[in-house]
Amino acid sequence: MDHFTYKNNQLMVEDVSVKDIVGQHQTPCYIYSRATIERHWQAFDQAVGTHPHLICYAVKANSNIGVLSVLAKLGSGFDIVSGGELARVLEAGGDASKVVFSGVAKTEQEIAYALEQGIKCFNVESIPELERINKVAAQLNKVAPISLRINPDVDAKTHPYISTGLKANKFGIAREQAIATYRQAATMSHLKITGMDCHIGSQLTSTEPFVDALDRLLVLIDELAASGIVISHLDVGGGLGVTYNNETPPSPATYAAALTERMQGRESLTLIFEPGRAIMANAGILVTKVEFLKQGEEKNFAIVDAAMNDLLRPALYSAWQEIIPVSTEQQRENALYDVVGPVCETGDFLGKDRELAIAPDDYLAVRSAGAYGFTMSSNYNSRCRAAEVLIDGKQIHLVRERENLKDLWKGEHKIP
């Protein structure tokens, strides 16, 4: 369930109509629902039940400060992949001691910043990275808590661009090298081994790959313990899928039950989850205005004011996201459209072959746009990035102003 519903022919976000929101903030505009974010986070948290756990929301899915502040107030942890994401978390009121730092190439600066802030753990992906963290920690006279990201070599059966747990992927340390790498980490003076982690991919629609990965990690954890290295947390990554169209991913409850079942008798091992999409995707929409309707020789086009620079997923992954009218008040004729943006590329589309009853100046909402929407947006074609709005009941909070022309060349310089 989410909080995007029709009332009197108007699409509502919680208690506010989208028409009123775009009346105030124009289009293209991302709109998020606080109640939906909270509901999704709590569903996750409750699903894990009594097993000791921490939900570390994956900031890359949506890093808006307003969104992060909602999660921080819930007591969420955060999974970050850069110093920039850490700065956002702290600015939003997040607790550094609940932050895990993922990513294959953390810089010395980022490591130092994270150590100074006192994050919970570095999720480490290679021996050179272990050495770098050890060196920076020694310089700062600190001890860095670390986990090794193990590549469990399971097929997540998702889009190849977002599958990360196969041998052929760049991520993590091979299972066969795991124990030796932990042993090596144990010899480094400024590291403290605290965990093991994995992340096998994103938009997974069955529990099996998650359970397979967990089983493989538990075998390693037992082997490690036998060799005297005892860890205190197991981070299973993110990746739980959502319904964009007709996918039927497991609910957080089913997913968590499948994992916690394997954890019986292991209560000393805290479970960490890093969900991004499952919390944010269906908590946001992208609203766009129909500029023109154009009849091509073979197709009808609805040319809208949002483009691939605003929402890249359709162009990059051929992702399908539902497109619905903001108002169903007016009677219009149905037709089949490709919904396309103003950017000069054939790949610039938000949806293809969509049956819509629309006219110029109507508004459309692209659903499931709360995750990997704004965060993947760009200024391509020198387009100002969209406004972001967070709805809380009746209240409309502008959480990011629409960019203006001067923002486009901020930091650039003419030469004499």
Identify the burial level of 380 via C-beta atoms within 10 angstroms of its C-beta, where 0-12 means exposed, 13-18 middle and 19 or more buried: middle
Is 275 annotated as belonging to a binding site? yes
Using CB under 6 A as the binding rule, the residues of this chain from 292 to 311 that contact ligand LLP are none
Distances (CA, A) of 329 to 9, 126, 304, 332, 354: 5, 57, 20, 9, 19
Give the residue with the Cβ less far from ligand LLP, 161 or 292.
Answer: 161
Residue with tokens 């109640």: 35
* Whole-angstrom distance, CA of residue 304 vs CA of residue 252: 35
Contact assessment for residue 199 and residue 170, using Cβ atoms and an 8 Å cutoff = no
**Among 94, 372, 385, 391, which residue interacts with ligand LLP (rule: CB under 6 A)?**
372
- Per-residue tokens: 155: 């097929």
Can you name the residues that pair with 6 across neighbouring β-strands? 11
Residue (of 169, 118, 156) closest to 237 by Cα position: 156
Can you name the residues that pair with 168 across neighbouring β-strands? none
278 part of the interface to ligand LLP, by CB under 6 A:
yes
Give the residue with the Cβ less far from ligand LLP, 235 or 392.
Answer: 235
* Whole-angstrom distance, CA of residue 65 vs CA of residue 397: 12
**Whole-number minimum distance, CB 183 to ligand LLP, in Å?**
24
* Whole-angstrom distance, CA of residue 33 vs CA of residue 56: 20
Spacing of C-alpha 390 from chain mean position: 17
Q: Which stretch binds ligand LLP (CB under 6 A): 6-14, 273-281, 292-300, 327-335?
A: 273-281
Give the residue with the Cβ less far from ligand LLP, 59 or 302.
Answer: 59
29 part of the interface to ligand LLP, by CB under 6 A:
no
**Whole-number minimum distance, CB 98 to ligand LLP, in Å?**
15
* Whole-angstrom distance, CA of residue 193 vs CA of residue 195: 6
**Whole-number minimum distance, CB 170 to ligand LLP, in Å?**
11
**Among 165, 252, 276, 370, which residue interacts with ligand LLP (rule: CB under 6 A)?**
276
**Among 162, 186, 396, 398, which residue interacts with ligand LLP (rule: CB under 6 A)?**
162
* Whole-angstrom distance, CA of residue 399 vs CA of residue 401: 7
102 part of the interface to ligand LLP, by CB under 6 A:
yes
274 part of the interface to ligand LLP, by CB under 6 A:
yes
Residue with tokens 């486009």: 408
How many chain residues bind ligand LLP (CB under 6 A)? Answer: 20
* Whole-angstrom distance, CA of residue 121 vs CA of residue 84: 17
Can you name the residues that pair with 233 across neighbouring β-strands? 195, 270
Q: φ, ψ for residue 314 (rounded to 5)? A: -60, -45
**Among 106, 277, 289, 367, which residue interacts with ligand LLP (rule: CB under 6 A)?**
277
Q: Which stretch binds ligand LLP (CB under 6 A): 216-224, 272-280, 302-310, 328-336?
A: 272-280
Is 313 annotated as belonging to a binding site? yes
Segment (H or E) for 316: helix 313-317
- Per-residue tokens: 222: 């037992």
* Whole-angstrom distance, CA of residue 35 vs CA of residue 334: 33
58 part of the interface to ligand LLP, by CB under 6 A:
yes
**Among 2, 14, 45, 79, which residue interacts with ligand LLP (rule: CB under 6 A)?**
79
Can you name the residues that pair with 272 across neighbouring β-strands? 54, 235
Is 32 annotated as belonging to a binding site? no
Is 274 annotated as belonging to a binding site? yes
Q: Which stretch binds ligand LLP (CB under 6 A): 140-148, 210-218, 269-277, 382-390?
A: 269-277
* Residue 344 appears among annotated catalytic residues: yes
Selected catalytic residue, list 29, 56, 198, 344: 344
Using CB under 6 A as the binding rule, the residues of this chain from 316 to 345 that contact ligand LLP are 317
Using CB under 6 A as the binding rule, the residues of this chain from 193 to 232 that contact ligand LLP are 199, 202-203
377 part of the interface to ligand LLP, by CB under 6 A:
no
> Per the annotation, where are the binding residues?
239, 274-277, 313, 317, 345, 372
> Per the annotation, where are the binding residues for substrate?
277, 313, 317, 345, 372
Tell me which residues touch ligand LLP (CB under 6 A).
58, 61, 79, 102, 162, 199, 202-203, 237-240, 274-278, 313, 317, 372
Catalytic residues: 344
